[in-house]
Amino acid sequence: MTVSISRKIAYEILRRVESEGAYASDLLHADLTPNTKPEDAALATEIVMGVLRWRRQLDVLIEKYTKKPIARFDLAVAIALRMGVYQLRFLDRVPARAAVNESVEIVKRARKASAATLVNAVLRRAAEEARKPAEQLLGPISSSAERLAILHSHPTWMVERWMARLGESRTLGLLEANNRTPRLSCAIHDISERDAVMNELQAAGLLVSPGEMLKSAFAVSGGSPARTEAFRAGKISIQDEASQTVPLLVEVQAGDRVLDLCAAPGGKTSALVRGAGADGLVVASERHAHRLRAMRDQFKRLGLNQVRLVEVDAEKTLPFGIQFDRILVDAPCSGTGTLARHPEIRWRLRPEQLAEFHRLQCALLENAIETLKPGGRLVYSTCSMEPEENEEVVRGVLKKRGDVRLIGREVGPNSLRDELTDNVDVQAFFDHEGYFRTSPSAHGADGFFAAVIGRSES
């Protein structure tokens, strides 16, 4: 019995996600080469992302069948079982025989042949019950939060937090959104080339649809935009629509001095450069040298030769001898707004880490404000849904200073409003306090938070 290319790729990526702390999306991008058949790439991607999204429910079912905690299995065995159960329960087009037999073969190839009989028995039992709803198989569950957490495959602590803040109905909507395959969104860097780029992508065999929020955004399916000439030539970038909106809140004007404080991987910098124009100055800073190198390659593809790249530890006093008209602080965060795109985050994040992020984010924002010119504009953003990383950071920092305030809903020229599609109202993105928010359940995009802050003239 052989193992298909798609399942070999899926197993190896899941192994590396668990053992190396890698991100599945990065590994899929690297491993699915142009030589990989589209059908193999599609199945490998489905298995990898599906197993990561549904891991909690899969593990509960595996433990039910084996009477043994999943943590006691060798990693290879646990992955093979998860892959098998996922295919049996979620992939109607995969024959049960293939899902069972190839999972057994994976264990043998991983030199865990002693577990082959167990894997075979568990998956045959799972195949018999594959059409039964999970709730019928789980037995009594102690609380509504625990029930939702298992059925929708999230950590219980995360669900408890969201239920306390959002209520059960909104939490359920968020959980369901996190388990849907997100749209693969892209940005067009020159809107005047939109029609030509769309035609080029369609000629390359991709299915293209308009963006939900932005005129310059679009979604693709049926292939990888990164393999197209439009991508290689720097005409487009792969970027979630919510992420594309954030730099537009900065409202960069021609000739501005602009600081992108936590710039890596550089996706938001291009919009800042376009706003500043040839007479402006854009500084993109990052703490880690390897991320600066990756940004340099990205900017070379996009033709952004005028960006100044600087290695900076932004937790400390910033070393710049000038003040900036515009600053973007896209802070490192928990990433709970990206759980559909990066499902492994839900299994790595611990509640105590939110306090660590809060401390870091406060330091970044405080240091950035010191370099903001009087009358200037700063946007603090995260891809987190958690108050500790969002409004609590902003409130705490602004409380210490009398010269900065939350601008909130005020939008001016060269702003997000000008870039939205005709049927989208810019004010709908702001809550009653003036904070900008997107949600996976409400917008079909990543969950982003942003606060627009102004510094007084005197």
Q: Which residues are catalytic?
A: 383
Q: What is the DSSP letter of 415?
A: S
Burial class (CB in 10 A: 0-12, 13-18, 19+), 218: buried
Geometric angle at alpha carbon 167, from 163 and 172, rounded to 5° = 75
Q: Which amino acid is located at 259 in the chain?
A: L
Distance between CA atoms of residues 128 and 426, nearest Å: 51
Q: Which amino acid is located at 368 in the chain?
A: A
Burial class (CB in 10 A: 0-12, 13-18, 19+), 342: buried
Contact 255, 280 (CB under 8 A): yes
Token digits for 259? 């600081």
Nearest CA to 197 among 179, 177, 211? 211
Cis peptide leading into 265, omega within 30 of 0?
yes
Phi-psi region of 187 (alpha: psi -120 to 50; beta: other; left: phi over 0): beta
Distance between CA atoms of residues 235 and 52, nearest Å: 32
With tokens 């030199």, the residue in question is 111
Q: Give the contacts of 429 (CB within 8 A, at least 6 positions apart).
A: 245, 416, 436, 437, 438
- Cα 330 to chain centroid distance, Å, stands at 13
Distance between CA atoms of residues 48 and 224, nearest Å: 17
Helix axes 116-128, 75-90, angle to 10 degrees: 20
DSSP E strand stretches across 408-456: 436-437, 449-455
